[in-house]
Amino acid sequence: MTTISEQASQVRLATVRLARRIRAQKSDDRVTDGQMTVLMHLAKHGSMTLSELAEAERISAPSMNRTVDCLEVDGHITRTPDEADRRKTNITLTASGEGVVSATVGVRNAWLTERMTDLTAAERATLVAAAEIMGRLATA
């Protein structure tokens, strides 16, 4: 019988491997994983400040600034002064950024759908149940 620690290690390793495979599926290979994470975050939560993005991604503001600079040069985001506080700048997805997110989500979903077709109905149900549990763990 395995210990909870050994089970946790198995879950962690499998999750990391699957996450890597999913992250590799992108619509634009010029967009780095870090940049894609920022685009996905903006698509989900809307316009944010640099500090809010850095905090959400748990990285320093200077690191986030470099990522945002690259995304701005590529036309995937825009920066606009905050109307309520001119010291702040809001970062917003452009149509190009939305397109990259939408296309990448489609590519990733198609990749995973293809892999899941090889599973039995019971295995797919187990994965769906595990996804709900993993979601709870991620927010705990």
| Residue 103: Cβ within 10 Å count | 13
Confidence (pLDDT) at 84: 84
CATH code for position 99: 1.10.10.10
Q: Please determine, for residue 1, whether its predicted confidence score (pLDDT) is greater than 80.
A: no
Alpha-carbon span 79 to 58, nearest angstrom: 21
Alpha-carbon span 48 to 3, nearest angstrom: 42
Q: Are 112 and 22 in contact (CB under 8 A)?
A: yes
The closest alpha carbon to 74, from 109, 29, 23, 25, belongs to 29
Residue at 60 is within a domain = yes
Q: What domain range is 93 assigned to?
A: 20-104
Confidence (pLDDT) at 23: 93
The closest alpha carbon to 24, from 33, 15, 13, 14, belongs to 33
Confidence (pLDDT) at 122: 98
Q: For residue 89, list its beta bridge partners.
A: 81
Q: What is the pLDDT of residues 13-37, one digit of tens each?
A: 999 999 999 999 998 889 999 999 9
CA distances 108 to 8, 27, 116, 119, 126, Å, are 26, 9, 12, 17, 20
Q: What is the pLDDT of residues 68-121, one digit of tens each?
A: 999 999 999 999 998 888 888 999 999 999 999 999 999 999 999 999 999 999
Confidence of residue 2 (pLDDT cuts 50, 70, 90): confident
- Which run of H or of E encompasses 119? none
The count of domains in the chain is 1
Q: Please determine, for residue 67, whether its predicted confidence score (pLDDT) is greater than 90.
A: yes
Report which residue type is found at 109. N
Residue at 133 is within a domain = no
Residue at 84 is within a domain = yes
Half-sphere exposure (Cβ direction) of 85: Cα atoms closer than 13 Å: 5
